[in-house]
Amino acid sequence: MIVHRIACCCLFFCLCVVFSQQNALAHGGVVEEDDLCVIKVNYLRAHFKVYQPRATGHEQYCEDLPSASESIFVMEYQHDSLSQMPIDFRIIHDVTGKGRFARLEDVYKIADIDSATVFYQPPVIEPDVYAVNYEFIEEGDFIGIVSARDPETGKLYAAVFPFEVGFTGFGYWPIFAGLLVLIQIHYLYMSGRLKRWYGKSSTIVTGFAICLLLAPPVSFAGDVVVTYTTPDGDPQLNRMHSWILHIENESGTEVEGATVEVEGGMPEHDHGLPTKPRVTEELGGGDYKLEGMRFHMSGYWEIVVSVTTDDGTSIVIIPLRL
Amino acid sequence: MRVSASRVVVALAVAIVAVVAWQRWPASPPKWTPVEVAMLRSLWIESLPELPPDPSNAVADSTIAAKFGEQLFFDTRLSSNGGISCATCHQPERRFTDGLQKGQAIGTTDRHTPSIVGTAYSPWQYWDGRRDSQWSQALVPLEDPDEHGTDRAQVVNLIAQDETYRATYESLFGELPDPASSDRVMLNTAFANIGKSIAAFERMVMPTPSRFDEYVRAVVEQDAGSQQRLFDDDEVRGLKLFIGEANCTQCHNGPLFTNHEFHNTGVISFPGDVPDKARVAGVREVLRSEFNCLGIYSDDVEHRCAELRFTRTGSTLTGAVKTPSLRNLENTAPFMHKGQILTIAEVLQHYNEAPDAMIGHNEAKPLGFGIRELHQLEVFLGTLAAPVAGLSGADGILVEN
């Protein structure tokens, strides 16, 4: 048993070293964090993904690409500044000789970067999402370079990521990993630990679930009560209409002079209202005119009303089924 | 051994007979619940409300303007090469589409030609809603180098040169400004008026009742005989899925089978293009368009323009395109905003899988249906086909109401 254990530990350790090295070294400015592929252009971050729609449809890649075909590189900003910066995107043949270890300094050392360039997208400000399309005509080792210039300071930020086109996968590593897991499960089973562990963890899970169930329901209503009427008749699908919001505090006093903001959406569909309704007029007596309401789907909606007075902000959620 | 073998044969035979009988047994007339009947009613063409007024277009409901607009719609002189009219891409015999992935005029356009049938009901035009009226939309292709390839001065000049056009224009809008005039506002006003005339024609292009609508009437009137005559079992089941499990009516709702809103459903990018940013960019464009509802060329002097004033902007609209109507899909393939998907069966397969969006976030959830359900949905969609109103026959003469 002890031999078994030592063998497993050694194999596991080797595997961890190999995988962690691949992650650390292979990706340059692109790293995987919490299952999300992230590009770091200095301190500016964006969700990074590559598609080969003609070859593999909606399959996403973080970096290495399976074949020489049309490739779409997408950056979804996690940092607002990138949406205001001119960004350029360059793909070069790996002429640094450093392969996966290539860094920005190595790229700067290339005397004639243009002749190594296979694709260049000149600087452009993309306010929403950055995407380029390049069709690789050959397999090989490439380096991607993303630069963004801060319009105020003039400072240039860049990220470099070496990658391979015609990437053949992890070779035999998945088989090794599978084997390791099997050996480990076999060992745990034989030693009786699996059962003991399962017994313990199920108690914990059950305990947690009971705690969740016993917890008091979260109340969103603060110290104000919001009711509404619809002077144009009941809300109808796809029709713009107005609401009159009536706001009182808990003791029944009408709330006047408040700043009222309204948001809303369908929690089951992860999207908001199709419009951006606004309170356009305070009618007095705790009444506020809310214009620009429109629902474009039937189902469950939540309208979130935030009421700000000198005493602070209260949030009230109005549920609505259409 | 012998006995058990014969038992197996008997058991098999019974099983086969049972399966065949179950499949062939005449289905009892479907029972629609009150909720389902209400949903069917909401999709019925008879529930289509009266055409909403377009306060931004003073001649929207003028018959003279509509006839003038129809002539302009089919006039190839409104192009730099004398060969392109609106009808080059919006072909009446193809329900105002062109059967191509992307529009082909002087050059190739960026997206698939959308139909104009029923678009008078939509607060937004174009797949990305970058215009907020039919008239302001009609102006854009005229000046697009890949479409008509002309410009506003040339368009106004054509009206000035054609005596009939000039007379009609002046009866509607007053004196036509000199096309060579350097007064930008006067030129733009005349250009906008031309768009408003085209829109007056487009406003009349509407869908007509389909077999589906007859079926809904039979359901509403509880006429079981007509229901059975109008829809076969697969069509009924397809309709049940459409308003139920398949969640189609989340977006394809109302009598035009569209909510006129913008949704990202993760359609794959077009070969050679980056994924379409669509509404997130379109909303920015409509807000700054000089021909929008709040602009000086709009006739809505009170500037009600609720859609424009209360429109949503921002990154949640990334990759969101306008829900198209599902009436009259027949003869309008290919589908989606760049014609990426060639058949209805493949469109349904796309929603069955609901892959992650390349940019933004796919709002649809995978359906996980089998082949049978997908087929039922497809045959149901076929029941929505019907001729287009607004034109009579192939000669394109407007129907007099």
Q: Is B250 part of the contact surface with chain A (CB cutoff 8 Å)? A: yes
CA A139 to chain centre: 30
pLDDT at B68: 97
Contact A272 B361 (CB under 8 A): no
Element (H, E) at B382: helix B371-382
Q: What is the pLDDT of residues B181-195, one digit of tens each?
A: 779 999 999 999 999
Strands, sheet with A224-229, edge to edge from the N-terminal-most edge strand: A224-229, A241-249, A287-293, A278-284
Q: Tokens 């393939």 belong to which residue?
A: B333
pLDDT tens string A47-98: 999 999 999 999 999 989 999 999 999 999 988 889 999 999 999 988 887 8
Tell me the backbone φ, ψ of residue B71, rounded to 5 degrees: -60, -45
Weakest-pLDDT range from A41-50, B15-24, B89-98, B360-369: B15-24
SS3 B330: coil
Q: Which of A60, A125, A128 to mutate to test the interface with B (most CBs of B within 10 A)?
A: A128
B364/A271 Cα distance (integer angstroms): 11
Please judge whether A275 and B42 are an interchain contact, meaning their C-beta atoms are less than 8 angstroms apart: no
Beta carbons of B310 and A240 less than 8 Å apart: yes
> CB distance from A51 to chain B under 8 Å?
yes
User: Predicted confidence band at A175 (pLDDT cuts at 50, 70, 90)?
Assistant: low
Put simply, the answer to whether B250 touches A60 (Cβ < 8 Å) is no
Q: In terms of Cα–Cα distance, which of B372, B387, B24, B73 is closest to B209?
A: B387
Contact between A25 and A39 under an 8 Å Cβ cutoff? The reply is no
Q: Could you report the predicted ipTM of this complex, rounded to two decimals? A: 0.74
**Terminal C-alpha separation, chain A:** 64
Contacts of A276 in chain B (CB under 8 A): 310-313
* Secondary-structure percent of chain A, ordered helix, strand, coil, rounded to 5: 25, 40, 30
The sign of the dihedral angle between the CA atoms of B187, B188, B193, B198 is positive
Mark residue B284 as left, alpha or beta (left: phi above 0; alpha: psi -120 to 50; beta: remaining). Answer: alpha
What is the mean pLDDT of the segment spanning B327-336? Answer: 91
Residue B101 tokens, joined: 């992935």
Q: Which residues of B touch A53 (CB under 8 A)?
A: 268-269, 271, 358
Whether A276 sits inside 8 A of B312 (CB atoms) is yes
Distance CA B164, CA A108 (A): 68
- Under DSSP, the state recorded for B113 is P
pTM over the 0.90 mark = no
Q: Which of residues 329-388 of B touch A (CB under 8 A)?
A: 355-356, 358-361, 363
pLDDT at B216 over 90: yes
C-alpha B107/C-alpha B273 separation (Å) is 16
A237 interaction partners in chain B (CB closer than 8 Å): 42, 253-254, 259
Q: How many CB atoms lie within 10 A of CB A163?
A: 22
Residue A61 in contact with residue A20, Cβ under 8 Å?
Answer: no
Tell me the chain A residues in contact with residue B251 when contact means C-beta distances shorter than 8 Å.
296-297
Buried b (16+ CB within 10 A) or exposed e, B171-194: ebbeebbebeeeeeebbbbbbbbb
A298 touches chain B (CB under 8 A): yes
B313 touches chain A (CB under 8 A): yes
pLDDT value of residue A24: 35
Nearest by CB to A72, which of B254, B275, B281? B275
Q: What is the per-residue pLDDT for B237?
A: 95
If contacts are CB pairs under 8 Å, which of residues 115-134 in chain A contact chain B?
127-129, 131-133
Cβ contact A296–B284 (<8 Å): no
Label residue A317 by pLDDT band (50, 70, 90).
confident
CB B329 within 8 A of CB B385: yes
Query: What's the confidence (pLDDT) of residue A297?
Result: 86
A80: nearest CA in chain B? Answer: B315
Please write the tens of the pLDDT for every residue from A5-24.
655 555 555 454 444 444 33
Q: Which of B261, B272, B280 sits opposite A296 (nearest CB)?
A: B261
Contact B275 A131 (CB under 8 A): yes
Contacts of B382 (CB under 8 A, 6+ apart): B235, B329, B330
B265 contacts in A (CB within 8 Å)? Answer: none
Q: How distant is the Cα of A274 from the closest Cα of chain B, in angstroms? A: 6
Nearest to B307 among A70, A240, A298 (CB): A240
**Closest CA relative to residue B246, chosen from B360, B346, B378, B340:** B378
Closest residue of chain B to A50, computed from CA coordinates: B358
Helix (H) / strand (E) element for A149: namely strand A140-149
